[in-house]
Amino acid sequence: MSSRKAHLTVSRVEPWSVMKFSFVVSLVCFIILFVAVAVIYATLSMLGVFDEVTSMMEALLEGDSGDDELGLDPAAWFSPGRVLGYTGVVGALNIVLITALSTVGAMVYNLVADLVGGVDVTLTEAE
């Protein structure tokens, strides 16, 4: 038995469809990123890594007089609100940028496909 083959050309990609798909994919990636950062933060916090880094930085930053001359607070850098807040901001920016860039990419593909004819795809029927 021979399998059937179909030779097709992708000559147009609908930008609205690409925008919806890329938004959902980037939203799922944001959720994965946020959960991963939260798990890694909790693990490092339980191991005492942030406490050790904070105490080391405080020891390095204190001057000869024994007080903090620069006015820096290393403990605030590693607070869960700050870490997860920055993760949320970066994730939200990624959602917007990935959605916008993929939509623009679909429009550019459509323009180029009008010039060169699109991408040829050969589909084979599974047995």
| 82 CB-contact burial (10 Å; exposed 0-12 / middle 13-18 / buried 19+) | exposed
Model confidence pLDDT, tens digit, residues 60-91: 777 555 555 566 777 788 888 999 999 999 99
**Given this model, what pLDDT does residue 63 score?**
58
First to last CA, the chain: 9
The upper half-sphere exposure of residue 53, i.e. CA atoms within 13 Å in the direction of its Cβ, equals 13
How much is the average pLDDT of 108-112?
95
What is the rounded CA–CA span in Å between residue 111 and residue 12? 9
Q: Higher pLDDT residue, 33 or 57? A: 33
